[in-house]
Structure 1
């Protein structure tokens, strides 16, 4: 039998003989804190100034120079590996095979005052501290659980594993128990708090103040009973029995929305609008109402249970419309069988613009707007493409009708001049002068074609411009070209004037170039509703169908038809092989004659 005293060392009673160990026999201090027998039969003695070991023959002492964290040793424990865990008032050590070994995880404890140690089969160490709460050491990591997580106190005197599989703790606020699974949930961060079952005066103790500072500060008997020393005697607890035998009922007291109370019922409908929701609840517990804790959850909003501790009101702000169920339960780790739950269904009605049909209507509207926007974009894109295409076609047509024909005329004049003999210098000079004039005209027409300039007649009427052009062609080709006009022909719109002029020019050139005529005529006449342009010749005629097919991308007849189509008119070719040709163009009067308010010109 080994007995530790407060200040007289250790007494050993064996075989009827009494032996003592004190300062005079090798101990560094006579204040005994803990005595432990390890698996090899060694006796370990924790004192107020160092650690000693009795192996049956000699007493060996460990102190600071040997690696002890702090001189004042409080508690000893042997872990699953057979190492001795030494708790002191300034940290914790691991002793293996008689030597202190470095343990990085235990180094994390720092200078905590370790007063209780509980090794677990999984290699974890639970450390009770004075002021630092409960520490968990495993796999090189340290976690701390304190009163902020639900412990009765941050001062822990003893740690015991009960027959019920819970961790039992003693301290200045009484005895408490918590499931290891709940503690580990806090350690891993899966839970913010731990349910703790308290044992104190309300449960029948004379005092909630337990004794500590020396070990054992609690003991588990072979029958599973737990004994703890208090300032008013020993406390016996049977973990398999609970002092809470009467179930406590949880019920909802009231529900307020924006400080206005709503009548209770199985289903509560809340009118539309956002605001503050308050749910007041309580539980009937006559034994210890001040210890009742709760948890609650709003299904449809909260992802899980929320700990409420001792608070008896749940608050929610600006909940979206929907259907919810509020659940509240007593959080009782000591008597789970007595825990009860209350619930109520809540329907927060939506505003009209928060309903599904409104969202559906908005979705349809957005889809329609998107489709309309796409259609508009596609139409604008097509218009831009069409405008670009028309501009390219216009340029090609203008080049054919002006630049190319002008270049052909210049080339013809130059060839004629080069074919004259040196003796006819006068004729050659005349041809060259005409070629220069034709080049200037062609250059001006090219500029107008590129910039789509409106006024091409230089102040002349259309029939006068046609007479000038006919005179030049007649002089070049030696074939008479007659121009006549009937009716009121002016003033013409710029585009109409240009298109009619270019159609007439193209028809005249074609007649002089291909028909081999003896004469060509141009007739321009205006009636009440239409304007008519006719270019005819007495030449050899041609097959219209085969000629248009043979153009293969050129802009002769097709170009003339397009120009008249721009004026809302049409173009006919009346010809038979050997019977001459007439090109007849018609256009509505309102599309040809100038409306001064409707058409602008380029500068």
Structure 2
């Protein structure tokens, strides 16, 4: 739909022929002029609800889609959901908060007329016209896009001013314009201005003419509104009622009041007029609410019908065809509904509709508890008295001869257009309450009356069937292939033909019955139940419920339209399922179906009717009885809102601070919580406007937000972002272009690229340092291993040199001596004997060296046992008195530390055995808080210099010191020539023990050892 400018029409109250043709040619979502005003969707926003702080006076729609309401306390902006008090940015102010007139011009500006001057809001900038001081009573834009304003009173007696970007030109008395009150301005198809006030003036720059409207009895009467008609006449509203006031029509220079048998225009004071795009005239009055005139018919809508107030200030028809009314107590809108309702407000006799039926002549028969009515051409008439009938109408049927069969209470009546005849059972008793009727292919009528199925032929009951002959049913419908279908009281379906009944069972709850039964052209039959639809086609049974995607389960009625689309009157609304989806359902009963839901916002008021709940008329419209009202939908002429909803990003809230969306918007660093408010300007059903958005730079795909009008983000990283939002109107038409706003989040100092580069270099430097430290650590570990191996090799070399090699050298010398005298057998024998002794000694020394390598305690934990073996070896080397004492309790030790202790102790014991020439050797191993080893002998001792510096070529003492230092132990060596040598090694407990002992435990062990010692004098 193209958008003709209804905001211009309502704000200036004029309508040229060309503009009217434009609106007619351009399709729109306009109000159906054939509908009653009470059948439109109506919503009221009242001052008493706290929406407005002042009284609304005027309204306009700007090009961006917003509605603007001018009140006595300021300007309010409305997007269909939210009313937002408006004030200009940057500290600017309107001349006054009392708003008298508004105009949304074609360039997107909002013109604001206040009680003391005129302003213009454009591109977020407020322009006030200080030269136009006074009450701006009207603002108007002509076809040349020039803006005119009426200023009353005018200081210079020039109340009509033309405003352009370059200049302001005003007209007054000299130009034929009265300096007194000016209110409406309009322009006709011939280019003449019509100006209302104390008088009506036709004016152009070349000529003018006045039309007096003031009578002697009303000196304060004035023209309140002007609408040029399409036939050259002029609709004029006068704010006083009387013979020459109220609603008048000016044609050919003569006044003519609008008077019809239903409406006398002179009895109302008119404040506002609107000629909508379908040529329906809306009349707003000072005390009688709203009148709507179309094709000579007049309808009334007042405070009693829900209007916010009977005092109407202004009308507006927006871009989607919705009509708005400004009253003294709020604003109201009227919109077309897809589902039309008939109730007592449209002429029904009662607020209960139990059955409905459409006849071939276009009549819609409506049955109620004590009424029988016919609807033709939107007019309802009662026929109960005319047919001399009384009671509740339950069910209808029109047979092939166009006779109408009517169930009234417990009787069945047939009406042929002239007379009424009652049909009785075969025994002459009344037929009973008729729930449903049908005519089969043979022309027989089948009547269902509380579980009894009666066949009628030739106005006589010829067969009556009761359970168990047929199942208990509530609904009956003819099968095109013969027989009848029955909708059963337990929710199942049955088929009866030629005395045989076949039942088809479905899964459903216990409290379920078939409310409505319908047969399609393809032979399929469906029944509406409280558990959805049950259906049969060509032997296939299927159910249609929420498991197939339906919005709810409870179905009151169902019917196929002429295109074989399925319509279901359900608890949640009216559901349409297209033919292809119905066929897909038959082929795959468990598959989901696509549908369109018409809910309360579309006018649906579903409910259960106890008898005939649905019918289809000759024009294809479907009619539904809800038990309360009568509703209809026209599947072949469904309204569609093709107006793309304008989308706006209203504000950005970052950490509770509001920002106006604008080019180059930059949010502060460390923005934690971000809210983006957006909207779409569709006023038909704003509750059905859906949104999707995407934040480029954050979101990978579009986010479906439903009807929510805010997007939320937390902890956005610094960078540039682009927020895009699109919206659909109430009919699912998407404005894919939507709205876009770009912004950026500034970086904190530690979020900048320079800081990131610094961190990168720092990390690289630290990694390099760690690498160097690790390399050095590995190198040191390798060096330590090399040192250990070198020390061990040195010791072995020393031992081999001092013992094994010397022995071999001695053996060699003995052998050489023997070879010098080979002729002396005795000498040879003695030499050989000496060589054997030397070789035996070499073997012993080699074994000792090997023993020192293989006697590690790595495989065990008992140092005492290892040292015990070492002392026993000394006994074999000639030491007479050897003793070993172990004190304390052995504790798990670190294996490497343990080996080092063994190496030191073994070296001390071996030295004592081989070099001290001692007769006594004592070894003491003590386990306590620390580990202590004491090795003492009574030999010849060691020279002090050797104890301190070691002996050249010998590395035993040096090796012991190095090992002690490596494990953090304390090594003491005392030696005297007269008293032998004593070596004491003390290893801290926290170094050697894997489970250090407590202090008190170690003290107790020392005390115990002291008392057990043989040296204790006690």
Q: Check conservation: 1:297, 1:328, Cα contact below 8 A.
A: yes
Please point out which of 501, 512, 518 is paired with 2:954: 501
Please point out which of 852, 860, 876 is paired with 1:447: 852
Q: Check conservation: 1:454, 1:601, Cα contact below 8 A.
A: no
Residue pairs, 1:368-447, within 5 angstroms: 391=788, 395=792, 398-399=795-796, 402=799, 406=803, 439=844, 443=848, 447=852
Residue pairs, 1:67-78, within 5 angstroms: 71=472, 73=474
Deviations 1:351-376 (CA, angstroms, capped at 9, x unpaired): 56667777787678767767876776
Q: Give the corresponding residue for 2:651.
A: 254
Cα distance in 2 between the residues matched to 1:282 and 1:29: 59
Q: Give the corresponding residue for 1:297.
A: 693
CA distance 1:448–1:238, shift in 2 (3 Å):
closer
Q: Give the corresponding residue for 1:99.
A: 502
Residue pairs, 1:147-296, within 5 angstroms: 156-160=555-559, 168-170=567-569, 175=574, 196-198=597-599, 209=605, 212-213=608-609, 217-220=613-616, 224-229=620-625, 235=632, 237-242=634-639, 244=641, 248-265=645-662, 268-285=665-682, 287=684, 291-296=687-692
CA distance 1:400–1:156, shift in 2 (3 Å):
same
Q: Check conservation: 2:534, 2:542, Cα contact below 8 A.
A: no
**SS class of match (1:99):** strand
Deviations 1:24-59 (CA, angstroms, capped at 9, x unpaired): 699997431464859x99977655437788999985
CA distance 1:60–1:429, shift in 2 (3 Å):
farther
Residue pairs, 1:31-110, within 5 angstroms: 31-33=434-436, 35=438, 48-49=450-451, 61=465, 71=472, 73=474, 90-93=490-493, 98-102=501-505, 106-107=506-507
In the TM superposition, residue 259 of structure 1 has moved relative to its aligned partner by 3.0
Deviations 1:480-524 (CA, angstroms, capped at 9, x unpaired): xxxxxxxx9877667xx68x3379xxxxxxxxxxxxxxxxxxxxx
In the TM superposition, residue 156 of structure 1 has moved relative to its aligned partner by 4.2
Q: Check conservation: 1:90, 1:112, Cα contact below 8 A.
A: yes
Q: Give the corresponding residue for 2:725.
A: 327
In the TM superposition, residue 99 of structure 1 has moved relative to its aligned partner by 1.8
Q: Check conservation: 1:275, 1:318, Cα contact below 8 A.
A: yes
**SS class of match (2:799):** helix
CA distance 1:170–1:342, shift in 2 (3 Å):
farther
Corresponding pairs, count: 460
CA distance 1:223–1:438, shift in 2 (3 Å):
same
Cα distance in 1 between the residues matched to 2:413 and 2:428: 12
Q: Check conservation: 2:621, 2:633, Cα contact below 8 A.
A: yes
**SS class of match (2:669):** coil
In the TM superposition, residue 144 of structure 1 has moved relative to its aligned partner by 1.4
CA distance 1:88–1:35, shift in 2 (3 Å):
same
CA distance 1:253–1:117, shift in 2 (3 Å):
farther
In the TM superposition, residue 277 of structure 1 has moved relative to its aligned partner by 3.5
**SS class of match (1:5):** strand
CA distance 1:402–1:188, shift in 2 (3 Å):
farther
Q: Check conservation: 2:650, 2:678, Cα contact below 8 A.
A: yes
Q: Check conservation: 1:165, 1:180, Cα contact below 8 A.
A: yes
Q: Check conservation: 1:150, 1:196, Cα contact below 8 A.
A: no
Cα distance in 2 between the residues matched to 1:89 and 1:175: 24
Cα distance in 2 between the residues matched to 1:232 and 1:87: 24
Q: How well do the aligned residues superpose, as a CA RMSD in angstroms?
A: 6.9
In the TM superposition, residue 265 of structure 1 has moved relative to its aligned partner by 2.4
Q: Give the corresponding residue for 1:506.
A: none
**SS class of match (1:501):** coil
Cα distance in 1 between the residues matched to 2:772 and 2:713: 47
In the TM superposition, residue 296 of structure 1 has moved relative to its aligned partner by 3.0
Q: Check conservation: 1:77, 1:118, Cα contact below 8 A.
A: no
Cα distance in 1 between the residues matched to 2:519 and 2:700: 37
CA distance 1:360–1:406, shift in 2 (3 Å):
same
Q: Check conservation: 1:129, 1:155, Cα contact below 8 A.
A: yes
Q: Check conservation: 1:118, 1:160, Cα contact below 8 A.
A: yes
In the TM superposition, residue 263 of structure 1 has moved relative to its aligned partner by 0.9
Cα distance in 2 between the residues matched to 1:140 and 1:395: 94
Please point out which of 407, 423, 436 is paired with 1:5: 407
Structure 2 residue runs without a partner (length 5+): 1-397, 400-404, 819-824, 857-898, 918-943, 973-984, 986-1018
Deviations 1:309-366 (CA, angstroms, capped at 9, x unpaired): 4x54444555566624241413423x73899944434544555666777778767876
CA distance 1:457–1:392, shift in 2 (3 Å):
closer
CA distance 1:279–1:455, shift in 2 (3 Å):
closer
Cα distance in 2 between the residues matched to 1:129 and 1:189: 20
Q: Check conservation: 1:23, 1:30, Cα contact below 8 A.
A: no
Cα distance in 2 between the residues matched to 1:385 and 1:123: 95
Cα distance in 2 between the residues matched to 1:37 and 1:393: 118
Cα distance in 2 between the residues matched to 1:345 and 1:136: 54
Q: Give the corresponding residue for 2:706.
A: 308
Cα distance in 2 between the residues matched to 1:359 and 1:136: 69
CA distance 1:246–1:434, shift in 2 (3 Å):
closer
Cα distance in 1 between the residues matched to 2:546 and 2:483: 23
In the TM superposition, residue 107 of structure 1 has moved relative to its aligned partner by 1.0
CA distance 1:95–1:253, shift in 2 (3 Å):
farther
CA distance 1:442–1:283, shift in 2 (3 Å):
closer
CA distance 1:95–1:150, shift in 2 (3 Å):
closer
Residue 144, structure 1, aligned to residue 546, structure 2: yes
CA distance 1:446–1:226, shift in 2 (3 Å):
same
Q: TM-score, normalised by structure 1?
A: 0.50
**SS class of match (2:546):** strand
Structure 1 stretch displaced more, 237-246 or 250-259: 237-246
Deviations 1:170-212 (CA, angstroms, capped at 9, x unpaired): 4688756577999999x99999x98644577xx7x8xx64664
Cα distance in 2 between the residues matched to 1:258 and 1:312: 18
Give 1 or 2: higher helix fraction.
1
Structure 1 stretch displaced more, 117-126 or 153-162: 117-126
Q: TM-score, normalised by structure 2?
A: 0.33
Q: Check conservation: 1:220, 1:226, Cα contact below 8 A.
A: yes
Deviations 1:98-134 (CA, angstroms, capped at 9, x unpaired): 42244xxx4156645553578999999987555x778
Cα distance in 2 between the residues matched to 1:125 and 1:51: 19
Please point out which of 515, 523, 529 is paired with 1:115: 515
